[in-house]
């Protein structure tokens, strides 16, 4: 191909079973999808496996795609659904106590100095502790750069709910990084907000 085709052109070809077009689309998005899934699951091999499943679904469900939303949003929506299902499986198999995680860090151990080489590690560690209902929209917004409206479409949630979850997720991350204390976001009483967080 002399001229790189855009997403929509590729999808039209994929709908007809064009494997070369599918290969080009996968090349365009594979690394980004793996990175997104890794941020969400915290396990690189799981992220790779889920990305493969994501693209299998892209190929076999291509005819269901409608060009009312960007192709990227559709791909990320598939990946997000697979990641949530995987997270539920993991949570059923073994629940990790957040208390144990929090106790392994001393209060105030996180630094917000942007010259601190450990800052990104700290952010990733804090992000891993967020409940998936907050982690997913925060990653889509702050790591992947999607708009709140796009995220709402992907997750099939009202824009207001997405906005609230991003705000709440960022607040948990800020508290974790500044104070090194437990993030209370798993459905228990939240001291800062004085309310029981809803289960999805």
Residue 1 pLDDT exceeds 80: no
| Domain CATH for 113 | 1.10.10.10
131 lies in the same domain as 110:
yes
CATH number for position 17: 1.10.1740.10
Q: Evaluate if pTM is beyond 0.75.
A: no
Q: What percent of the chain has pLDDT over 90?
A: 36
Tell me, yes or no, whether 47 and 123 share the same domain: no
Q: 55 and 119 share a domain?
A: no
Domain that holds residue 68: 1-95
CB under 8 Å to 108, separation ≥6 — which residues? 179, 180
Is the model's pLDDT at 137 over the cut of 50?
A: yes
The predicted structure's pLDDT at residue 57: 92
Chosen domain end from 95, 122, 150: 95
State whether 76 and 101 are in the same domain. no
For residue 168, the surrounding DSSP H or E stretch is helix 159-179
Domain ends where: 77, 95, 113? 95
User: What's the domain count of the chain?
Assistant: 2
In this prediction, residue 197 carries a pLDDT of 34
The verdict on 83 and 144 lying in the same domain is no
CA distance 76 to 82: 10
pLDDT tens digit sequence for 77-99: 999 999 888 877 765 554 433 33
Phi then psi for 156, rounded to 5 degrees? 55, 50
- Residues 108 and 196 occupy one common structural domain: yes
Is residue 107 domain-shared with residue 76, that is, in the same domain?
no
pLDDT above 50 (res 189): no
Final residue of a domain: which of 44, 70, 95? 95
Q: What is the pLDDT of residues 171-186, one digit of tens each?
A: 888 887 777 654 455 4
Q: Is the pLDDT of residue 50 over 90?
A: yes
Q: Is the pLDDT of residue 199 over 60?
A: no
* Position 158 pLDDT exceeds 90: yes
């Amino acid at each position: 191909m002399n001229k790189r085709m855009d997403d929509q052109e590729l999808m039209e070809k994929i709908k007809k079973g064009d494997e070369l077009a599918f290969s080009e689309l996968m090349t365009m998005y594979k690394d980004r999808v793996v990175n997104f899934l890794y941020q969400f699951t915290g396990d690189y091999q799981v992220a790779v496996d889920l990305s493969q499943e994501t693209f299998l679904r892209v190929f076999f469900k291509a005819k269901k795609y409608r060009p009312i939303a960007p192709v990227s949003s559709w791909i990320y929506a598939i990946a997000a659904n697979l990641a949530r299902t995987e997270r539920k499986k993991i949570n059923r198999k073994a629940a990790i106590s957040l208390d144990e995680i929090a106790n392994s860090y001393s209060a105030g151990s996180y630094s917000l100095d942007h010259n601190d080489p450990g800052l990104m590690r700290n952010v990733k560690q804090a992000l891993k502790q967020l409940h998936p209902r907050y982690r997913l929209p925060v990653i889509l917004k702050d790591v992947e750069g999607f708009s709140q409206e796009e995220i709402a479409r992907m997750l099939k949630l009202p824009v207001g709910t997405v906005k609230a979850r991003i705000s709440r997720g960022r607040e948990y991350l800020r508290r974790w990084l500044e104070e090194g204390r437990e993030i209370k976001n798993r459905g228990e009483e939240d001291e800062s907000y004085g309310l029981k967080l809803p289960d999805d």
